[in-house]
Structure formats: structure tokens, C-alpha cells
Amino acid sequence: MGDVLAGFHTVWEFDTDSVLIRFERGIRTPRLLQVLGERRIPYEALAAVEQAPGKHGTVVLRAVPRPGADPLADAADGQLKEGCDPYRLVLPAERELLAEYYAERIRAELGPRATEPAERHLVAAPTPPLSFKAYDGKASFDGRTISFRWFWTGASSAKWKAGDQRFTVDELTDVDWRSPDALGGHLRLVRRTADGRRPGAADQDPAAVVFGMGYGLVHESLPFAAAVLAAVRAKAPALAGDHLHGAHSVPAARPDPGGIAERIRHLGELHDAGLLTDEEFSAKKAQLLAEL
């Protein structure tokens, strides 16, 4: 197409097979959109285009991604506020006819399988931060391994007993992100388990970090979750072959001595408070010392 449609904080640039969505960098632009910068959306990744009246004399165009086509949309799972929706373009009401024109142009480009879930991700995952701070720990991702390092000020005794955690991508089947803008915000890694047990509360689950006021912010935790989800989905086709050839997960790196000393000190506090028995404290301390 080659045309450009500029709205508030967002610009859509149309190409023959995709639309490039660019987000302005300014104080009025939501932080998530600033972090995303721009995203190229193939038309085959879209299910529909919606047009509706907006607030304060505006008209809104919204591209609807197919389920499974975009790791960011899949991770967000409808939890984003309107202003943070990267598929939303707000225009002055006097441009309603122009919005309708472009909506029809995009609809004409949708493929015959637009109403079906995508078999693979068609939109690139955003580049995530290397790490972000949750309330009870620090989450890190290097493209292959996700690490949770617990904070003694926020982590539950259950997490301290379990110790810092490392998960390789091929151990996971999904990522569960719950927005920090609502109660119960968290990031949980869904592991491959055979017992079918439901996970417990996020603050007790070593495979989850919990959010809170100022922790796990949307512009940090959602791109992180989307990048992990994209890696998990990309790995999934190879897992069957790996299983047949007896492949093993990547071994975890040894923790740093300072972190181990900090964890032993906190275990001592839990023991003094009666939250750990003598046997539990001794066993966990021995386990940590053996990692040095």
C-alpha cells in the first residue's frame, strides 16, 4: 500500500504484506508503547479490523490479532488497558471516512484462515529487558534460561526453602502473566508435569514471581513474558525430536557465593523465628554450602 495513517501517539505505515505500527516517544505515550517502539504486523497475523467511535471526538481503529499469532497479545490475554493496546489507533473524528477506507483496505488483505488460530507466531516477540524486579525476587532471561533470585524482604518461606530457581525453555509449556494493575499480579512459568496437579498461590510457587506496587510493571514484565512465551513456542516442535534422542536440559550454573551467604543468613532468621525445624535448616544449609 505504501500509505501512512497518523493518529495520537501511533502511526500505521501500510506495506504490501504488513502494517508497521510505530509509537511516539513522549510523556503522553504509555511506557509499554514507548518500550515496544515499533512492531511489524503481517496481514496474515490479523483476524479482523474494528472501527468504533472513541472518546472526546475521536474514532478508533483496532486490528484484531489471530490467537496464537502474536506472543505479546497471547501473554497479555486481554488484560491491557485501552491506552496500552498496541493494536489500537486513535484518530480525530473528522477522519472517520479515512479510517473506514483503510479498514476496508486491510480487510481485503486478510487471508482465508483469518478466523482460525495461527499455528505459529507470525509477529516477532519484543526485545525484553534482561531482567526485571518483582516484589519477591528478580527475574532474568538470557534467551534459553529463566532465573528467579529471591529477595529476603519479600519472598515467602516456601520460596526460600526451595532456593533460587532456574528453568530452561524446554522445561516449560506456557507462561501465565497476570497484570500488576490488578490484584494477584504475577508471572508464572508453567512446567511440564505428569501429575496434573494445579499450582498453588503464586507467592508460594517457586516457578512464579509476584508483583506489587512498583514491581513487575507492565512495560517490563509483559515484554519479558512475551519473549519467554515465544521461546517456549519456538522450542516446542523440537522437543519431540529431542525426547526421542534422549536430550537433556542445560545444567544450571552455580550461584555466586555472596548470594548463598545471603540465603543462609535468611534461613537462619526463619529458623530463629520457628518457621524452619532444626532438620530443615541443617539440610538446606548443607545443600547451599555444597553448591559453592
Percent over 70 (pLDDT), the chain: 85
- Distance CA(217)–CA(20), nearest Å, equals 25
Neighbouring residues of 53: CB distance < 8 A, sequence distance ≥ 6: 59, 60, 93
Could you tell me the pLDDT band of residue 290, with boundaries at 50, 70 and 90? low
Give the model confidence (pLDDT) of 11-42 as tens digits: 999 999 999 999 998 888 999 999 999 999 99
Please tell me which residue, 246 or 70, carries the higher pLDDT value. 70
Sign of CA dihedral 200, 205, 207, 209: positive
Burial bucket for residue 25 (CB in 10 Å: 0-12, 13-18, 19+): exposed
* Residue whose entry in the numeric block shows the C-alpha cell 516449560: 172
For the entire predicted model, the pTM comes to 0.80
Please tell me which residue, 144 or 286, carries the higher pLDDT value. 144
Q: Is the pLDDT reported for residue 60 higher than 70?
A: yes
- Name the average pLDDT for the chain: 87
Give the model confidence (pLDDT) of 203-261 as tens digits: 999 999 999 989 999 999 999 999 999 999 998 755 444 433 343 333 444 455 666 67
Q: Which of 186, 175, 190 is nearest to 218 (CA)?
A: 186
